[in-house]
Amino acid sequence: MLSSPTGPTNFSIPDTLYTGNRLVLTCGPPQGSVSIGELSRVDWRLDGKTIQSNSHFDISSSSSSSQLTISRLLSSDRGDYKCMLVGQLLNFIQWGALTTEILLPAPVLSVPLLLNFHCEEETTESLLCCVQNLYTPEWLSQPSSNVLLPSAITMSKTS
């Protein structure tokens, strides 16, 4: 799940994310484990560089934790994240990595939205769907519709 060792000081990051998704990282000790006291400072970093709140990153804090919200993930958001909470009683550090195995490019599909065909017995029509090589498209039809029958679908892959 994360490239760093698992443990209570790692962020909880989903196994798979896509560019364009929203991600919230929560920094703070597990409930009931330890009290760091009232927060006096929060420091979020990506690859060692300080993260500031802006239109892409939003940092919010409570009395003993902080959240980093990434509104729409970009490939440039991959890297090592670190959060340090400076409390009255002690400091708490949490980290995790957003890797190329976790943050994938969102699928880009190219397919016409509406096609009309004149149906005649024993005729076939071709539909073209293009997607990155990383993905395998699957044709779906609504169960109540007789428009597209899965048994009539053949797929071919080109580079």
Instruction: Return the pLDDT at 103.
Output: 94
Count of CB atoms situated within 10 Å of the CB of 84: 16
User: Ranked by mean pLDDT, which of 8-12, 13-17, 49-53 comes out on top?
Assistant: 49-53
pLDDT in tens, 82-135: 999 999 999 999 999 999 999 998 877 666 666 677 777 777 777 777 777 777
Which of 20-24, 31-35, 74-78 has the lowest average pLDDT? 31-35
Question: Stretch 9-21: mean pLDDT, rounded?
Answer: 89
Handedness of CA 140, 143, 144, 149 (dihedral sign): positive
What CATH code is assigned to 17-104?
2.60.40.10
Question: Stretch 50-76: mean pLDDT, rounded?
Answer: 95
Beta bridge partners of 69: 24, 58
| Concatenated DSSP letters of 39-86 | EEEEEEEETTEEP--SSSEEEEE-SS-EEEEESS--GGG-EEEEEEEE
